[in-house]
Amino acid sequence: MNSNTKLTGKNVLITAGAQGIGEAITKHFIDSGANVAIHYFSSAETADELVEYAISKGQKAVAISGDLTKEADANAMVEKTIEAFGGLDILINNAGSLVARRLLSELDTDFWHKVMDINLTSMLFVTRAATPYLAKNESSSIINLASLAGRKGGHAGSLAYSTSKGAILTFTRALSSELGPKGIRVNAVAPGLILGTAFHNTHTTKESADKTTAGIPIQRAGNAADVARAVLYLASEYDGFITGATLDINGGVYNM
């Protein structure tokens, strides 16, 4: 992949950075010369491999475990990142999950709160902890992972997930206004059907994927690298004018 020299030496924190889209994002940042703090919840082996890869290229890297629905874990993750690098330039809020498909009639209160905590409250905790360090730079960047489901409402059984991802779009816009004067740009990406990840391997049947792919104007599903390249672009535009935006990565299924 091509190196992005604007990212050389930058300090990046990626939540859920050792699986699926997060792993691809981490690899792209490493290949662009960045130092990476890789948060993981259950993917310790992959996180360690990514750390070794970064170090082999002469960059700093650290793997940090934690349950980001717990404020203490989110705070500790950010502090460990600062201890390792001395500062923070870029935050990638990638952690999230559908958890399971449940229709409204099946959706109990505990499940609703679980999905909201994983996708939205964790993002609040991490962003709040990281912002004072991002604000120390002349310019910094936050990229939040939303979803096409947050635009269109998702497939049956994704009510809680889609609602949480839609909220991330508004969270991004509101935060861009608040943090702009501090030199922090805040944007989001909203991936559509991204195959080859644990998310869709778990929650999307082949029949559903085939049907969705048939309706994509460019006639293919996305992959994790499609998302990673977009994230790197938004992260690296230090002299750019893009903030409060959501970049849709869906092959033309939804655009506005």
Catalytic residues: 161
* 188 DSSP β-pair partners: 144, 246
Question: Which positions ≥6 away from 244 have C-beta within 8 Å?
Answer: 172, 173, 176, 177, 186, 187
CB 93 within 8 A of CB 123: yes
Q: Rounded CA gap, 60 and 152, in Å?
A: 39
| Radius of gyration of the CA atoms of the chain, in A | 17
Q: Rounded CA gap, 144 and 147, in Å?
A: 10
Q: Rounded CA gap, 127 and 148, in Å?
A: 22
